Amino acid sequence: MQCFSLTSPQRNSPGKILLIFSVLGVLSIFSSCGNMEESEIMDSMGDGSTINSVSSTEIPLSAMPYDRGLYKHWIDADGDCQNTRHEVLIEESQVDVEFKTDEQCIVSAGRWLDPYTGEIFTDPQELDVDHVVPLREAHISGAYLWDSKKKERYANDLDDAGHLVAVSLSANRSKGAKDPADWLPPYTSFHEEYARVWIRIKQRWELTFDDAEIAALEKILGMEGSVLIGSNL
């Protein structure tokens, strides 16, 4: 069986805020695939699995009011009539998808494994495409400083296979804009993979982490007190 992975870097082809700085010699942590009745969810993890050093700054929440409309999605970036949502559905389906019309713009059927719950879905109307690091979380973690084009790129990023993922409506509604300190996928065997992808996305986009978030990520990875090295950079 094929493992479902959010960890591949590419898809085929505040109160107190802590800024993460990458350093050389990133620790490589690997997770093996977990067994499931229908399929396997996890795959090996290379980068983005550790937070190396931090510096802190104070930014008031009032300085960065959030508006979801600032992050335009879903768009049809390549002009093929399939917007970002449907591109993700096509990519993540375990079988060839079916389309609503001959124009092949809208996916009407397929087979998706939700890594948050471990459940299989065949009707795309039962799925949301989730930003693993939610738009609001990205916003208050530094994205509020971006121009509109960069916000749009973040909201529709297809370059990182872990950035967007098809998940059940209920799981996505339960998650909302929460970070790992307040919400984790119901499927517990996916927690480590989720934490590593979360870290990788935030490091890739140079977003920040707060204290509770870092503590939660350390705990998930079983590395409390050993992953982070505080600094005043």
For residue 63, the model assigns a pLDDT of 72
The SS3 assignment for 149 reads helix
Residue 1: inside a domain: no
How many residues make up the chain in this entry? 233
Residue 64: inside a domain: yes
Residue 233: inside a domain: no
Helix (H) or strand (E) holding 140: helix 135-140
The SS3 assignment for 15 reads strand
Residue 155: inside a domain: yes
Total structural domains within the chain = 1
For residue 75, the model assigns a pLDDT of 98
Residue 232: inside a domain: no
Closest CA to 213 of 134, 117, 130, 116: 134
Query: How many Å separate Cα 34 from the centre of its chain?
Result: 19
Residue 3: inside a domain: no
For residue 5, the model assigns a pLDDT of 52
Q: pLDDT digit of tens for each residue in the chain (233 aa)?
A: 334 455 555 664 443 334 333 322 232 322 333 434 433 434 433 345 555 434 334 456 667 899 999 999 999 999 999 999 999 999 999 999 999 999 999 999 999 999 999 999 999 999 999 999 999 999 999 999 999 999 999 999 999 999 999 999 999 999 999 999 999 999 999 999 999 999 999 999 999 999 999 999 999 999 866 544 332 22
User: What is the residue range of 183's domain?
Assistant: 15-227
Residue 188: inside a domain: yes
Residue 9: inside a domain: no
